[in-house]
């Protein structure tokens, strides 16, 4: 049976990767909740405005906010698909700091349910997905963790790290790639 309804999406981080990602997914008709730790960013987006400089992003955000397809908050809510798009800066030893990624996963864990998909969009080093799986396994022992159990998994964890890409790229990429919904559709079809 084909999955007919569009998944709800929660994008963690509304910076140069997260906001364009959230806006383009919302333009496809999905209801998107964007999460950011900065209340000013949340308020700005909820007014249909942007806090970063990016060609054509202002009109796109204004349009999806006015159609109530995109809203922003500091509080995570349940969704079908979660996209982690938070910074991974370098620490004083020039090693990637994945604390923002792990913090985002920690905030997702309480609302994660069977059939959900978590996509790591943040550029992160090898081993980050294992860290996320271990964190969620500790927080949510009721869920079957991909690669950590012989039982069928109950949620998906694809990784798709990207470096900075302008809105024009995201518009084209998300228009032609059904990646975020594909894993969700497959999970729903198996239920």
Specify if 2 maps to a domain.
no
Burial of 165 (0-12, 13-18, 19+ CB in 10 A): middle
Are 10 and 116 in contact, with CB atoms under 8 Å apart?
A: no
Contacts of 166 (CB under 8 A, 6+ apart): 20, 54, 55
Specify if 1 maps to a domain.
no
The tens digit of pLDDT for each residue in 164-175 reads: 444 444 455 455
How large is the angle between the packed helices 18-27 and 167-176, nearest 10 degrees?
40
The tens digit of pLDDT for each residue in 90-149 reads: 888 888 899 999 999 999 999 999 888 899 998 888 888 889 988 998 998 888 776 666
Tokens of 160: 């798709």
Neighbours of 170 (CB within 10 A): 22
Are 122 and 97 in contact, with CB atoms under 8 Å apart?
A: no
Are 15 and 84 in contact, with CB atoms under 8 Å apart?
A: no
Specify if 3 maps to a domain.
no
Residue 124's domain is classified under what CATH number? Answer: 3.40.50.720
pLDDT at 145: 74
How many domains does the chain contain in total?
1
pLDDT at 164: 42
pLDDT at 141: 86
Task: Assign 14 a pLDDT band (cuts: 50, 70, 90).
Answer: very high
Average pLDDT, the chain: 82
Best CA proximity match to 71, nearest among 33, 112, 106 = 33
Of all residues in the chain, the percent with pLDDT exceeding 90 is 53
Specify if 4 maps to a domain.
no
Tokens of 138: 């500790």
Domain housing 19:
9-190
Contacts of 156 (CB under 8 A, 6+ apart): 116, 117, 118, 146, 183, 184, 186, 187
Residue 82 clears pLDDT 80, i.e. is over it: yes
156 vs 58, residue with greater confidence: 58
Specify if 117 maps to a domain.
yes
């Amino acid at each position: 049976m084909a999955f007919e309804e569009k998944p709800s999406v929660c994008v963690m981080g509304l910076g140069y990767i997260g906001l364009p990602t959230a806006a383009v997914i919302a333009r496809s008709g999905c209801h998107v909740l964007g999460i950011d730790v900065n209340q000013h960013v949340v308020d700005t987006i909820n007014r249909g405005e942007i806090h970063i400089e990016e060609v054509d992003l202002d009109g796109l955000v204004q349009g999806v906010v006015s159609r109530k397809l995109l809203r922003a908050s500091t509080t995570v809510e349940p969704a079908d698909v979660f996209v982690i798009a938070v910074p991974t800066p370098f620490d004083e030893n020039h090693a990637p700091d994945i604390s923002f990624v792990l913090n985002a996963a920690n905030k997702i864990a309480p609302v994660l349910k069977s059939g959900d998909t978590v996509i790591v969009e943040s550029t992160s080093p090898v081993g980050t997905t294992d860290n996320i799986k271990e964190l969620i396994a500790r927080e949510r022992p009721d869920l079957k963790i991909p690669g950590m159990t012989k039982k069928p998994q109950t949620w998906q964890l694809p990784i798709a790290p990207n470096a900075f890409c302008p809105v024009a790229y995201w518009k084209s990429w998300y228009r032609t790639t059904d990646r975020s919904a594909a894993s969700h559709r497959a999970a729903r079809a198996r239920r």
